[in-house]
Amino acid sequence: MDRSSLEQLLTPIAASSDPTGLAVRVAVLPDGQRPEASDWHTAEWVTIDGIPHASVLIGPGGAIQLTPGVYRAWVEITAPPEKPVAASPRFQIT
């Protein structure tokens, strides 16, 4: 993805039941870093071909602005009493 692009970052979620009624947050960090409390951003659910995706707008004017580098998205789902966190595969901003 180009750093000047404003796009939805969609992270697919494998779940045994439909998570789209649950709160979801996303953190996007350089590869090798783990999210801190201040890194999380409220996300939305988008379902594509029956697969739920955590969605957050990244780029200039979006919730998250990134410089060139390699990143991972972290997704946190609030599913009381659980709060699972999963990391995406690496992706690059050019």
pLDDT digits (tens, 9 = 90+) for 13-65: 998 889 999 999 999 999 999 999 999 999 999 999 999 999 999 999 999 99
CA distance 58 to 68: 13
57 forms beta bridges with 8
More confident residue, 87 or 16: 87
Q: What is the pLDDT of residue 16?
A: 84
- The span from the CA of 83 to the CA of 24, in Å, is 10
**Is 1 part of any domain?**
no
Which CATH number do you get for residue 51?
A: 2.60.40
User: Domain range holding 65?
Assistant: 7-93
CB-based contacts of 17, cutoff 8 Å, min separation 6? none
Taking residues 72-78, what's their average pLDDT? 97
Number of domains comprising the chain: 1
Can you give the pTM of this predicted structure? 0.91
